[in-house]
Amino acid sequence: MDGNCGYWEIAVLLGMGEESWSLVRNHMHKELTSWSEEYINLVGGIKRFEELKRSLLVDRLSMVTIDKWMNITDMGYVIASRYNMIVVSLSRQKSMTFFPLRNQPPLDSSVHRVICIGHVYGNHFV
């Protein structure tokens, strides 16, 4: 495991291909930067916001440390808002659903985009 499994899984669920995990990280960083005021309020302050932004910056060639692993509690709204979709996270500890922060869901529920990600063994996404 290289510590990118959460972002790898999001890339796969979006149909981008497993090697696009770094692109997903980049998209998340851009989302946080573009809407910084909103996310500073959401995550509880500038310090935590800056930690989240730093966690997204990794060297593509090396394994990442645990502080850079995806935490769905922190990134659920970022993913949902960036890709304008509903994100469902399932785990034994806590299951959550995240909706985009700025966009209203389509009136026609048949065109809703939903992805579901599982968190298993306390450290892996599937």
Question: What stretches in the chain show pLDDT beneath 70?
Answer: 1-4, 60-63, 120-126
Identify the pLDDT of residue 43: 94
Whole-model pTM: value is 0.85
What b-and-e string marks burial along 13-24, b requiring 16 or more CB atoms within 10 Å of the CB? Answer: bbeeeeebbbeb
CATH code given to domain 5-125: 3.90.70.80
Given a contact cutoff of 8 angstroms between Cβ atoms, the answer to whether 99 and 80 are in contact is yes
Identify the pLDDT of residue 81: 95
**Whole-angstrom distance, CA of residue 69 vs CA of residue 55:** 7
Two structure tokens written together for 28: 């998340």
Identify the pLDDT of residue 106: 72
